[in-house]
Amino acid sequence: MGVSTDQFDGSSVVNIAKSVYSLVIILVLWEVVTQMGYIHYYFLPPLSDVLTRFVDLTASGEMLENAYLTLKRAFLGLAIASILGVAVGVLSARNDVVDWFFDPIIKIGYPVPIIALIPVFMLWFGIGDTSKIIMVAVGTFWPVAVNARDAARQVEKNLVWAARMMGTSDWNLVRRVILPAAAPGIMTGLQIALPLSLIITFVFEMIAGGGGLGALEIEGVRSFQSTQTYAAIIAIMLVGLGLDRLLRLARSRLLRWT
């Protein structure tokens, strides 16, 4: 017996409604409370005014230009961290010397709040794209490396022994056995690092300027345009949500066997 399209569409609508009802309530309260004047306009303008400002900034290209800068910095930093983090993590799991060298560094570096180092990166690399990209790379390296190391350590020994018995070289062992088996853990590390890359970029832009959604937000505060401030916050929320969904989709497609 097949399932009708109407039933499928109805259940889909119900599921979507269940997942967003609390957000809808908050947004409605935001509009009602601010329109009634219970909160000063500067501190929290009506949602309708914020959305109008969001549309205006997008139509003028200013929002898209700043979003591009933020995404570029976050992506480049995350790409560097992903390559180095996976390499260090897997090598640490497979080589005692590498583990001996990097284990203390990871234990010390992982819990350090990277945002506290923004002044140091500004002193070393200035306030341009370079400092932001390097800081994102450093800040997101830790979750990628730790998850890659832990996942590589948990690869079943039988798989490794079987590959060794067939004369697999060290490189092919890592490429064909370790990495595929550790892929779920590596993807988990990337899912942790992705929002962190946006947070680091956003905060750095707020402090150092140089364009980006963070700079757009803080400019709204300095120019007493609170609608711009909240429009920038909505933009970064939408960007983060969209990227998270894309990464989840990529994980489901790439790791179908899990």
Q: Domains plus CATH for the chain? A: 1-39 (no CATH), 47-254 (1.10.3720.10)
Using CA atoms, how far apart are residues 144 and 87, in angstroms rounded to an integer?
A: 10
Go through the chain and tell me how many residues it has: 258
Instruction: Establish how many alpha carbons lie within 13 A of residue 152's alpha carbon, considering only the half-sphere containing its beta carbon.
Output: 26
Three-class DSSP category at 115: helix
Q: pLDDT tens digits for the chain (258 residues)? A: 444 445 445 566 566 666 677 788 888 888 898 888 888 888 989 999 999 999 999 999 899 999 999 999 999 999 999 999 999 988 888 778 888 888 888 888 777 788 888 888 888 988 888 999 999 999 999 999 999 998 888 877 776 667 667 766 667 777 777 777 888 888 889 989 999 999 999 999 998 888 889 999 999 888 888 999 999 999 998 988 888 888 888 878 877 765
User: In sequence order, which ranges of the chain are alpha helices (DSSP H)?
Assistant: 5-35, 47-60, 62-94, 96-109, 118-125, 129-153, 157-165, 170-173, 179-208, 213-222, 226-254
Using CA atoms, how far apart are residues 257 and 228, in angstroms rounded to an integer?
A: 45
Three-class DSSP category at 175: helix
Using CA atoms, how far apart are residues 163 and 43, in angstroms rounded to an integer?
A: 63
